[in-house]
Amino acid sequence: EAGVAQSPRYKIIEKRQSVAFWCNPISGHATLYWYQQILGQGPKLLIQFQNNGVVDDSQLPKDRFSAERLKGVDSTLKIQPAKLEDSAVYLCASSLSPGAPSTDTQYFGPGTRLTVL
């Protein structure tokens, strides 16, 4: 079974530039998550999709971050404009569906390490 794919793996940009990350979840997984993980911290949920609808985006800085999941499969996360504090690893994960122990196990991609200079 193919895992969660993410690209790029690394990205270095100047502050105020824009950047986009791509995620392809495991086939058949309805739920897709984007997390931000700052060095030394646990993953922080930015946005959660169920199929192509947003379930939770309460911690997404909407003035600069946006995300979409077209056709309920692939997803992109964009930052525009980037700030120094956005330097982190951006993880994408997928699961069958949330809220139930039998289906809530999340499978993570390798992440994208973003450095904002």
Partner 1 sequence: SQKIEQNSEALNIQEGKTATLTCNYTNYSPAYLQWYRQDPGRGPVFLLLIRENEKEKRKERLKVTFDTTLKQSLFHITASQPADSATYLCALEDGGFKTIFGAGTRLFVKA
Chain positions contacting partner 1, by CB under 8 A = 4, 33, 35, 40-45, 48, 55-56, 91, 93, 98-99, 101, 104-111, 113
At closest approach, how far in Å is the CB of 28 from partner 1?
A: 17
Closest CA to 33 of 89, 111, 106, 115: 106
At closest approach, how far in Å is the CB of 44 from partner 1?
A: 8
Per-state percent for the chain, helix, strand, coil, to nearest 5:
5, 45, 50
At closest approach, how far in Å is the CB of 64 from partner 1?
A: 22
d(CA 36, CA 27): 23
Closest CA to 71 of 96, 52, 94: 52
| CA distances for 34 relative to 11, 16, 103, 117, angstroms | 17, 21, 18, 22
Nearer Cβ to partner 1, position 20 or 55?
55
Nearer Cβ to partner 1, position 10 or 80?
10
At closest approach, how far in Å is the CB of 43 from partner 1?
A: 5
Nearer Cβ to partner 1, position 22 or 108?
108
